[in-house]
Amino acid sequence: MTEDRMQALLKSIEEADKVLIGIGEEFQYDWSALVQDHRYQEIETEIEENKDHLWINPFLQKMILLRSLQDKWKTAYGNLRKVIEGKDYFILSLCMDDYVYGAGLDEERIVTPCGGFRKMQCDQNCSHELVEIPEAGYAEVMRYYRGEIPLESLKEPICANCGSALRFNQLGVTKYAEEGYLDSWNKYTRWLQTTVNRSLCVVELGVGMEYPGVVRFPFEKIVFYNQKARLYRIHSQLYQVGEKISGRGEGIQMNALECLQMI
């Protein structure tokens, strides 16, 4: 049954003029490799006792993301690329692990409004500008991770403008710098305008209810208003499609990351 639906989905993508992809929680890297890392367990205890150094955590997260890009994600993004290559597509991803970048997809056609680990910002967003990750600071955290220098020797990177902490540009900072994704968001909304009255295949890959106003609700609305649009919602639990678009919507009960292994 699921296989038939997958075939229908692939056919629908092939036949559509435009393809809109939403990526969500089932694709997000789950930090398991970091949590299981023996050295990280030691560090966790050490920074528990020394909370001034909690700031190093995201640096270690970035390190583990780079180190542990596992086959599961490589295959999933590789297969996604194969399926939509050559199509007029746009990808809206809620993931913050940056894995959607560097997968051979056209980065001009990707928007990640929750941010990630590619740039940093002032925690207070005083200048409305993003900054590069300070290489020396990152290298020092890695030296500490390798046990070469003590925790106390690490200095938190700060904003050159106001002295607040520098943070990775992602949701969760005190004042999130939306400047990190607004240009791509504008491209996305302009692209959406080109889908009006065109055959459009909309695919949600493991998008839950964490930020329903970003993917799920607007995607349903797009499909509702465009009679030539179809929605495929792939999720292990939240795969249901509302009645309003029944007939042009299909829920596939499956973990989206697993599903993309099979194509």
The minimum distance between CB 177 and Zn ion, in angstroms, equals 10
**Residue 96 backbone dihedrals phi, psi, to 5 degrees:** -115, 15
* 174 touching Zn ion, by CB under 5 A: no
Using the minimum distance from each CB to Zn ion, give the nearer residue, 72 or 119. 119
The residue within the footprint of Zn ion, chosen from 33, 126, 131, 142 (CB under 5 A), is 126
Residue (131 or 192) nearer to Zn ion, CB: 131
Give the C-alpha separation, 109 to 187, whole Å. Answer: 8
Distance CA 44, CA 184 (A): 36
Residue 159 near Zn ion by CB under 5 A? yes
The residue count of the chain comes to 263
| Torsion sign over Cα 192, 194, 196, 201 | negative
Write out the E strands in 55-165: 88-93, 110-111, 115-122, 130-131
In this structure, what are the phi and psi dihedrals at residue 202, rounded to the nearest 5 degrees? -110, 125
133 vs 192, which CB is nearer to Zn ion?
Answer: 133
**Is 162 near Zn ion (CB under 5 A)?**
yes
Indicate which single residue of 122, 177, 203, 222 sits in contact with Zn ion (rule: CB under 5 A): 122
Q: Which is nearer to Zn ion, 159 or 200 (CB)?
A: 159
CA separation for the pair 122, 225 (Å, rounded): 40
Question: What's the closest the beta carbon of residue 121 comes to Zn ion, in angstroms?
Answer: 8
Of 2, 7, 153, 161, which lies in the binding site for Zn ion, with binding defined by CB under 5 A? Answer: 161
List contacts with Zn ion (CB under 5 A): 122, 126, 159, 161-162, 164
